[in-house]
Amino acid sequence: NAGVTQTPKFQVLKTGQSMTLQCAQDMNHEYMSWYRQDPGMGLRLIHYSVGAGITDQGEVPNGYNVSRSTTEDFPLRLLSAAPSQTSVYFCASSYRGEGNYGYTFGSGTRLTVV
């Protein structure tokens, strides 16, 4: 029972590089989302998806792309990394339901952009 799996756990990028953060869940959850966590700002929603083929923007979508080709996977792409994207990134999933489900979180990816 893996839950939500994020890879990599740590990454250092140079400004301007691109990369993809991977997220996979094995619980058949319809809903998946990406958050970034910064000190004193809590978690801010980047993008979310309510099912395969459907994605939408959250609070801070600029500089990030997502796609949802399968129920299990929800990768987050950084198109051209900037130092402002240094953060800890969490993927989360849940049943879609009527909102009364908590999220299951992945263990996070700590990204540093130099």
Which of 33, 55, 71, 85 is the binder for other proteins (CB under 8 A)?
A: 33
- Pick between residue 28 and residue 42 the one whose CB is nearest to other proteins: 42
CA gap 16, 39 in Å, rounded: 24
**Binding flags for other proteins, 45-74, as an x/- string (CB under 8 A):** x--x-x-----x-xx---------------
Instruction: With contacts defined by CB under 8 A, name the span among 12-20, 70-78, 79-87, 104-112 that binds other proteins.
Output: 104-112
Measured CA to CA, the distance from residue 3 to residue 25 in angstroms comes to 6
Question: Is 1 one of the binding residues for other proteins (CB under 8 A)?
Answer: no
Residue placing its CB nearer to other proteins in the complex, 28 or 99: 99
Phi, psi dihedral angles at 85 (to 5 degrees): -90, 5
Stretch near other proteins under the rule CB under 8 A, chosen from 16-24, 43-51, 67-75, 77-85: 43-51
